[in-house]
Amino acid sequence: MLPKSKLQADANKVAVLKEQQEDVIEKTLEELELNFPRLEILDHIYPSTRIRELVVLIYKDVIHLARESATYYQQSPISK
């Protein structure tokens, strides 16, 4: 069995890593929120098939991020 101090140190490390992971997710979502309106403007300024294709890819990636984030937040704190 591990000593109490080692268990506490491990628990603190896990808590710090969890907080860092959640900070990354939060900052990414904030950046997306700020930049999504630009996509619509871009499509109006440079209407082209290629721009629309790129916007679709961005939305696809954001949906993937949202799903991964939801899965992460649904996990038990013990399994994170």
Residues 55-77 have pLDDT tens digits of 899 999 999 999 998 998 888 66
* pLDDT tens for each residue of 1-25: 556 676 667 777 878 888 898 899 8
Domain extent listing, the chain: 32-80
Q: What is the DSSP letter of 76?
A: -
Report the C-alpha gap between 75 and 80 in whole angstroms. 7
Distance CA 54, CA 61 (A): 11
Q: How far apart are CA 68 and CA 18, in angstroms?
A: 15
pTM of the full structure: 0.64
Q: What is the dihedral of CA 69, 62, 31, 26, to 10 degrees?
A: 0
pLDDT confidence of residue 61: 92
